[in-house]
Chain A
Amino acid sequence: EDQVTQSPEALRLQEGESSSLNCSYTVSGLRGLFWYRQDPGKGPEFLFTLYSAGEEKEKERLKATLTKKESFLHITAPKPEDSATYLCAVLGSSNTGKLIFGQGTTLQVKP
C-alpha cells in the first residue's frame, strides 16, 4: 500500500536558521512526488514536482531533493513569511491520478 510519512510534525525556527523537512514514502512505481505549501484557511499551493532519484529543484529559499525512499525540503535562511504547513504527496504507477498525502509539517519562523 502506498504510504507517505512526514517529519517532524512541527518545526520552530528563528529567522535565518536553515533546516530540512523530511518526506519518506513507500510507493509501487513512483510517477511523481509533489511538494505543496498550505496557509491556514487556504488550499494547497504547488511548489515542486520531482520525478526521479537524484533530481533537485529550487525556488527562492526552498530546495527539494529526491532519493528512492525519501524527499527533503531544505529551507535556507527562512523568513517569517515562510511559516506554513508543507505537504508532501506521491503519485504511484498503480493509480491514474490519486495523490497520497502525508500529514504535513507545520513550520513557524520567528523574527
Chain B
Amino acid sequence: EAGVTQFPSHSVIEKGQTVTLRCDPISGHDNLYWYRRVMGKEIKFLLHFVKESKQDESGMPNNRFLAERTGGTYSTLKVQPAELEDSGVYFCASSQNSGDTQYFGPGTRLTVL
C-alpha cells in the first residue's frame, strides 16, 4: 500500500512569489492534515480536512496560506505571496478516522530567499 506522498520534495523561491505544495494521502483516508516545522522549533499543526471540508484551520498562520482539498482526495497548500518566515518543512499526514494514528509524508522543504 502506498504511503502519503508529497510534491515537490524541495522548493526554493524568491520572497513575494507563489508556491503550491501537493499532498496525496493514503487511499481511503478521509482525514488529511498539514503541519510545518520551522528551523529549531517543534512540528506545528496547520489544519485538518475531513474529506473536502476544513475541520480545523486554527494553525494557519495568516491569509497568505490557502489549503484546498477538492473532491476529498489530494490536497494543495498555496502560499501567496511567500515571506522569509515561511521557510521550513511542510508535512502532510493522513488517517482513516479522526483520532486514529496519523501517517506522515516525507515533507516538502520550502526555502524563501
Contacts and interface: CB of A to CB of B under 8 A. Distances in A.
Interface stretch (B11-19, B68-76, B77-85, B100-108): B100-108
Interface centre among A45, A97, A101 (most CB of B within 10 A): A97
A43 B50 CA distance: 21
A89 B59 CA distance: 16
Interface residues of A, number: 25
A98 B106 contact: no
B104 A43 contact: yes
Contacts of A31: 99
A100 B45 CA distance: 7
Interface residues of B, number: 26
B24 to A, nearest CB: 13
Contacts of B4: 43
Interface in A63-102: 87, 89, 91, 95-102
B31 interface: yes
Contacts of B55: 96-97
A42 B103 contact: no
23 contacts: A32-B99, A41-B106, A42-B107, A43-B91, A44-B43, A44-B91, A44-B104, A46-B101, A46-B103, A49-B101, A96-B98, A97-B48, A97-B55, A97-B95, A97-B98, A97-B102, A98-B58, A99-B43, A99-B45, A101-B42, A101-B43, A102-B42, A103-B42
Interface of A: 4, 31-32, 34, 36, 41-46, 49, 87, 89, 91, 95-104
